[in-house]
Amino acid sequence: MQKQILLSIIVPVYNVEPFLRKCVESIENQDLAHNLYEVILVNDGSTDRCGEICRGLAEQYANILLINQKNQGLSMARNAGMDIAQGKYWMFVDSDDYIESNAIGRVLDIAEQNKTDLCFFSSMSFNEHGAWDNGYQPFEHNKIYTGEYVILNGMNISSVWKNIYLADFIKRTGLRFRKGLINEDIDFNYKLYPLAHRIMFTDILVYHYNCSFSHASLTRNKDAKQHQRALLCSLEIAKEILHYCDTVLISKAVKRLYRRRMRSLLVSSILSAYTNHQYYNSAFLHQLLDKAHAYHLYPIWGRTESWKTTIIMPLINLLWLKLFLSHSCMENNSDLC
């Protein structure tokens, strides 16, 4: 009798030729029998040699499943992997990162023993100059918490590669990754965390996150359109989370925190568009404010997460009036402009 697959590791792949083989081989070098876990490679329309490398790896390792699809973005690649995943637990790995040797089995043992919905592990960031701890969560290790408790007590909403998920827990929520978003996993976890009943943090080092300077990222990308897209996506996330607060049965305390956090996100996004002239101009600022207004996110009312953004908020709201008057003057060719 074939043993039940304990873990599905979903790996979206897009134009990461220099990193892909190391990533997959690190996943295969684990303290877990290969027949107990599957590796789902989702080649999302790569235009480099990733498709060829994926085929070779699938031939080399019996537990690798390969999906080839047209480029649809990271969200849809993860969704495609979830659609065929058979594991009791799910793990997400980005194909430019890698996994610590012989680590995943220990995390799974803890998850199984404690019947967790989410089991977090330790991670490191690295680049050409060294490595450092990636993020800190202010909670004791090997202790059970609820999602509501961790959110209200300093939880950093983090990337999906920072923990393993109980598959049935995700399936019960019906959550999927939203197509086209930047930071789509943050949107996903904001909605998922409050619904969890059993969360545990471990000190087991599992994940190595690639911050290499030879590897493109938004923080190093000089393309203004990408930065503008990121700010527009922040509006989408704010709209989604505020709608979530209005429609999902979670505590009033969590809703209050989320609403304040989304107002802070809106303030910081609009402030960035107003002050950072390297990537944003007045036309984009107007576009951002128009979209926020259409989403009923702007002007911004109520408290934010910090006193600084609360103080700045009235000034941010005045931008709408300033731009509206400026636009009216230009249309009327008024001498009062």
pLDDT digits (tens, 9 = 90+) for 60-81: 999 999 999 999 999 999 999 9
Sign of CA dihedral 193, 196, 199, 204: negative
Model confidence at 217, pLDDT cuts 50, 70, 90, reads very low
What is the CB neighbour count within 10 angstroms for residue 157? Answer: 17
CA distance 91 to 9: 5
DSSP state of 307: H
As a whole number of angstroms, the distance between CA 328 and CA 324 comes to: 6
Q: Are strands 118-127 and 98-99 parallel, antiparallel or unpaired?
A: unpaired
Residue 245 has pLDDT above 70, yes or no: yes
- Which of 174-178, 278-282, 324-328 has the lowest average pLDDT? 324-328
Q: Between 261 and 134, where is the model more confident?
A: 261
Query: Phi then psi for 286, rounded to 5 degrees?
Result: -65, -40
Return d(Cα 297, Cα 239) in angstroms, integer: 7
- For residue 45, pLDDT beyond 90: yes
pLDDT band, residue 220 (cuts 50/70/90) = very low
Q: Kindly state the tokens that stand for 99.
A: 């996994």
**Region 281-285 average pLDDT:** 91
For the cut 90, the answer to whether the pLDDT of residue 329 exceeds it is no
φ and ψ of 323, to 5 deg = -70, -35
Q: Which residues are CB-contacts of 335 (< 8 A; sequence separation ≥ 6)?
A: none
Which residues face 120 on adjacent strands?
163, 201
Say what the pLDDT of residue 218 is. 38
Angle at the Cα of 141 from the Cα atoms of 136 and 191, rounded to 5 degrees? 60
Which is nearest to 260 in space by CA: 314, 313, 296? 313
* pLDDT at residue 336 greater than cutoff 50: no
Q: What is the pTM of this model?
A: 0.92
